[in-house]
Structure formats: structure tokens, C-alpha cells
Amino acid sequence: MARIAYVDGRYVPLGARAVRIEDRGYQFADGVYEVVKVVGGRFRDLDRHLDRLERSLAALDMPMPMPRRALGLVLHETWRRNAVPDALVYLQVNRGAGPRNHAYPPLLKPSVVVTVRPARFPTRAEQEHGVGVITLPDERWAQCHIKSISLLPNVLAKQQAALAGCREAWLVDEAGLVTEGSSSNAWIVDADGRVVTRPLDRRILGGVTRAVVLDLARANGIEVALRPFSVEEAHGAREAFLTSTSSLVLPVVAIDGRPVANGRPGSTTCRLAELYARAEELESVS
Ligand code: PMP
């Protein structure tokens, strides 16, 4: 079946030339985005994604392009027209089209684009054996809490990870502390058995999966420490994992080519992955 996108009020074939040349998303990366998953025909954590969208838009001095309920309907309708039960739904809202000028004119009509693709969640082998990451300097801007479509440093870091045969790049700040992955949040289990991830600040995106996993850990008596951790600590950690909407809770078994502990997914990671899968009804993951 042909894939369908939503572009500014119209449903068009994904390959259609529907974006305007002077679209500020295209010319300035002047916009924000969300990726929401649909599992078994149900949108997961949609409210948390729309909350974050509102925060990102506010940071760009942009209004919601339409009422929240209407946006939810557009997401559902675009997903429905693509007939993919397990999907990743991409939503971009940017400042709209106008004569090219860095400073933005007032009252531009925001552009809204929605696309849908079949979800490729981690395979059972990836879940069972884990994945590797490399560490790289975090060369992004100073407002990473905004889910900006300006992703060039993330793209370049992910490409380096792929060239190194790794799933992800963990980015490292000037103090040697891990911020997050190029498209995921970074976690370890420390020597005291606590699950550790960086507290929310402007150096990381507040992942929806991160928030869900923190809630699950606390509700299930798993001790959590919100603090930064260094590359050195990660190299010597008991366990490591990453989280994102599409990667779920994924064990990290090697960092910079060095095994994490015995090189196998740790028990706390597996427990959290299991809790997350159950909470999000991910039994269908193959
Ligand atoms: N950090 C970055 C930089 C990301 O791009 C993503 C993926 N959107 C995440 C973290 C994880 O966020 P989420 O759990 O909401 O997918």
C-alpha cells in the first residue's frame, strides 16, 4: 500500500513534492519534532509526547499549530491511512514559509508534517545479546532539552557509531560526563546497584521513555540515582543500557570496544526492559 503523509491540511503520497522552498524548517531547521510509537494499533504515551511538543514550541516562541485534540486526530488519521499496526509516527512542526530572513516575521502559519513508517523495534537477538556504543565529544548546541529538528551533530555522531559497528554514540561533555546518546538516553547501573541517569538539564532531551522507565523503576523498588556519570565510570559499570521510543530499553554490553562487566546484559537492565515491555504491551516484538 502506498505510504501517505500529512502536509499542512492535506493527505498526500509520501513521495509528493509538498514542502515549500522557503519553508523555514528546510532553510533554517527552525522547528521541532516528535516521534510517537503505535503498538498493536494504539498510540503509546501520546500525552507525554504532546506535553514535550508544547514545551519545545514554547521555547521557540511558537504556538501549537492547532488545538491538541485536533493534532491527536491528525496523527491518528495519518497512521490509519498507512495501515501499519506497529508504527513510528513522525511529527514536525516548523515556523512555516516566508521570505528568507534569519529573524522571523510575525504571524507565519506553522507547517505541520506527519509521516508514518513501520516500527523496527530491536530484534530479540539485540535484546538478548545487547549492543555496543562508542563515546564521542558532545558538539551540539546548549539547548538540547528542545526537540529541535536541527540534528546535524547527532547525524554525524550516529554515522560514526555505525562505521564503528555500534548501535549508538554516547556524547560526552567538557567535564568527561556522558550527556546522552545521539538519539537516546544513556544509563548505567553503578557499584551500589543503583540505576543512574543524568538529571534533566539543558544538555539532554527529556526522553519520554526515560520518564516512563524512571516511573517503573520507582514503582518496583529499583533504586534510582539522578546524577551525571563519567565515561570512566561507565567503562567500569555493572550494567549499561539506553532508552528511546524506538529502541525501547536496550542493553549496552560494550563501550568503546570494552565489555561492560561480563559483556552480557545485566539483570537490572533485563528487569526494566521486561517492565517496560509489559507496560507498553510490546509482546509483539519479534
Ligand atoms: N535524546 C535524544 C537526543 C533523542 O533524539 C531521543 C529520541 N527522540 C531521546 C533522547 C529519547 O527520547 P524518547 O524516549 O522520547 O524517544
185-196 pLDDT, tens digit per residue, is: 999 999 999 999
Residues 202/263, Cβ–Cβ less than 8 Å: no
pLDDT for position 90:
98
pLDDT for position 255:
98
**Residue 40 in grid coordinates:** 498493536
Q: For residues 216-237, give the mean pLDDT.
A: 98
Atom of ligand 1 nearest to the CA of 205: 1
Using CA positions, which residue lies closest to atom 10 of ligand 1? 184
Q: For residues 161-177, give the mean pLDDT.
A: 98
Q: Is the CB of 210 under 6 A from ligand 1?
A: yes
The pTM for the full model equals 0.97
Q: For residues 207-212, give the mean pLDDT.
A: 98
Taking only the tens place, the pLDDT of each residue in 23-45 is 999 999 999 999 999 999 999 99
How many CB atoms neighbour CB 257 within 10 A?
Answer: 10
Q: For residues 64-82, give the mean pLDDT.
A: 98
Sequence-ordered strand ranges (E) for the chain: 4-7, 10-13, 31-39, 42-43, 87-94, 111-118, 131-137, 168-172, 178-181, 185-189, 195-197, 224-226, 239-244, 248-255, 258-259
**Residue 75 in grid coordinates:** 496523527
Residues 282/39, Cβ–Cβ less than 8 Å: yes
* CA–CA gap between residue 33 and residue 36 (Å, rounded): 10
Q: Is the CB of 184 under 6 A from ligand 1?
A: yes
Tell me the pLDDT band of 106, cut-offs 50, 70 and 90: confident
Q: What is the mean pLDDT of the chain?
A: 96
Atom of ligand 1 nearest to the CA of 34: 8
Q: Quick one: what percent of the chain has pLDDT higher than 70?
A: 98
In the predicted model, is pLDDT for residue 105 greater than 50?
Answer: yes
Q: Is the CB of 245 under 6 A from ligand 1?
A: yes
pLDDT for position 178:
98
Using CA positions, which residue lies closest to atom 2 of ligand 1? 183
In the predicted model, is pLDDT for residue 77 greater than 60?
Answer: yes
Q: Work out the burial of residue 274: count CB atoms within 10 Å of its CB; fewer than 13 is exposed, 13-18 middle, 19 or more buried.
A: middle
Q: For residues 93-115, give the mean pLDDT.
A: 96
Q: Is the CB of 127 under 6 A from ligand 1?
A: no
Q: Ligand 1, from 50, 245, 250: best to mutate by most atoms within 8 Å of Cβ? A: 245
- Report the side by side order of strands in the sheet with 10-13: 10-13, 4-7, 111-118, 87-94, 31-39, 42-43
In the predicted model, is pLDDT for residue 124 greater than 60?
Answer: yes
More confident site: 169 or 1: 169
**Residue 266 in grid coordinates:** 545485566
pLDDT for position 136:
98
Q: For residues 90-107, give the mean pLDDT.
A: 96
Q: Is the CB of 207 under 6 A from ligand 1?
A: yes
pLDDT for position 281:
81
Cα dist from 270 to 5, 164, 285, whole Å: 36, 25, 15
Using CA positions, which residue lies closest to atom 9 of ligand 1? 184
Decide if 158 is catalytic.
no
Using CA positions, which residue lies closest to atom 12 of ligand 1? 207
pLDDT for position 283:
52
In the predicted model, is pLDDT for residue 284 greater than 60?
Answer: no
**Residue 163 in grid coordinates:** 562505521
In the predicted model, is pLDDT for residue 285 greater than 80?
Answer: no
Question: CA nearest 102: which of 208, 28, 197?
Answer: 28
In the predicted model, is pLDDT for residue 46 greater than 70?
Answer: yes
pLDDT for position 2:
84
Tell me the pLDDT band of 157, cut-offs 50, 70 and 90: very high
